[in-house]
Amino acid sequence: MRRKLMRIGSVSILLVYFLAYFFRLVSLPHINVFAADLTEASVRLSRMDVSAAASGTDTILVVAKPATTATEASLQVTFGSGFTVDGTPANITVTTSGIPSTYQGESLSAWPGVGSAATAVSSQIVTIASSDLTPGTLYGFYITGGITNPGTSGQKEITITTRTSAPANIDTKTVAVDIMENDTDQVSVTASVPASFNFALGSNDITLGDLSSSATVNDNVIIDIDTNAGNGWVAWTKSSNTYLNSASTSDQINTQGSIDGSPTAYGAGSEHYQLDADVTNGTGSGTPAAAAEYTGTGGSGGTLSTTYQEIATSTGPGDNDGITYTIYAAASAINEAADDYIDTLTIVGAGNF
């Protein structure tokens, strides 16, 4: 009988302990251990490279869509092993400034109440303030400092959890990110631009017609120059004779003056055979200019030579740059009559790359 009473007493004591433990549990603040899943959650690392640190330019974008109707007061972002998490909350900076307007084609709203920095840090868990969220709305914010990627490659986990002020978990979800080695999250884009130089004469004939001792006559060719040479272009010319020669009479109409950096004056009634170069500026950074020898105005022109002389240059790339290459000539009163006065002028150019 005594043994039976002892067994009953033991059971009674156990029951008392159980009831005390039960009432102690129900009297504690409610903690929702089994939080619901966030409808969506994603973490985009601006750099997936090993040891890349979050910054204002290399941000970590945290995105989540709440599922449960509750009053959010904070969220926690738990970084998996390998991530370096700064232990000072103020160093883990956050912002909603500049977040994308959409994420995977869905409207993305700024996460309300996140402030400018974390409010608490415990090991790998970062606590960030939050205002109340609307279920079904996709929210996002940037982490701009205080987090460094793991030093080894591979998949890592990050958990996002919304919380009440109790605090109690509301919604949570764990996402995976991939950490890469040796900048393999980047693609190097290379290209080349081939050198280009176009030098085209608009005509291969300068026709002066009948020369007179009372007036100067002229004709020209237009030269088009197009190049991507960084240092521009140069144009030269030379004369086969430095004079117009008549084979039938052996008479000549000679160029006047000397090559001295300034044009030579001429006038009607005096024999002359001179060159004038005028430039036009197309598009591009280059500035074309005629050589001083060939910057004649009415009544003067540059002297021709049997060796190449610079007639114009440009300082940089140009498209549709131009040279108007004009020959001025007149006969003297004693130049013999003939219709076979001729000279050959060679005009060449080159880009300075």
pLDDT in tens, 54-110: 999 999 999 999 999 999 999 999 999 999 999 999 999 999 999 999 999 999 999
pLDDT at 34: 56
Query: Residues near 8 by Cβ (< 8 Å), separated by ≥ 6?
Result: none
* Fold match, 33-179 / 197-351: yes
| Among candidate residues 244, 259, 266, the one with its CA nearest the CA of residue 308 | 259
pLDDT tens track of the chain, all 353 residues? 444 433 434 434 444 344 444 444 333 444 444 589 999 999 999 999 999 999 999 999 999 999 999 999 999 999 999 999 999 999 999 999 999 999 999 999 999 999 999 999 999 999 999 999 999 999 999 999 999 999 999 999 999 999 999 999 999 999 999 999 989 999 999 999 999 999 999 999 999 999 999 999 999 999 999 999 999 999 999 999 999 999 999 999 999 999 999 999 998 789 999 999 999 999 999 999 999 999 998 899 999 999 999 999 999 999 999 999 999 999 999 999 999 999 999 999 999 99
Express each pLDDT in 251-278 by its tens digit.
999 999 999 999 999 987 899 999 999 9
140 touches 70 (CB < 8 A) = no
User: Encoding tokens for residue 51?
Assistant: 């040891």
Name residue 165's amino acid. S
pTM of the model: 0.70
User: Encoding tokens for residue 322?
Assistant: 């131009």
Query: Residues near 105 by Cβ (< 8 Å), separated by ≥ 6?
Result: none
107 touches 93 (CB < 8 A) = no
Report CA dihedral (80, 86, 88, 91) to the nearest 10 degrees: -110
- Beta bridge partners of residue 245, listed in sequence order: 252, 342
Asked if residue 167 has a cis previous peptide bond (ω within 30° of 0), the answer is yes
Domain boundaries in the chain? 33-179, 197-351
DSSP secondary structure, 309-339, as one string: EEEEEESS-EEEEEEEEEEEEE--TTSPP-S
Give the position of tokens 């415990």: 122
CATH topology of domain 33-179: Immunoglobulin-like (2.60.40)
Distances (CA, A) of 190 to 193, 209, 229, 307: 11, 56, 20, 43
Q: What gap in Å lies between CA 256 and CA 346, rounded to an integer?
A: 19
> How many Cα atoms within 13 Å fall on the side-chain side of residue 7?
3
- Beta bridge partners of residue 27, listed in sequence order: none
CB-count burial class (<10 Å; 0-12, 13-18, 19+) for 306: exposed
Q: Give the CATH number of domain 197-351.
A: 2.60.40
Query: Residues near 286 by Cβ (< 8 Å), separated by ≥ 6?
Result: 232, 233, 314, 315, 316, 317, 318, 321
340 touches 246 (CB < 8 A) = yes
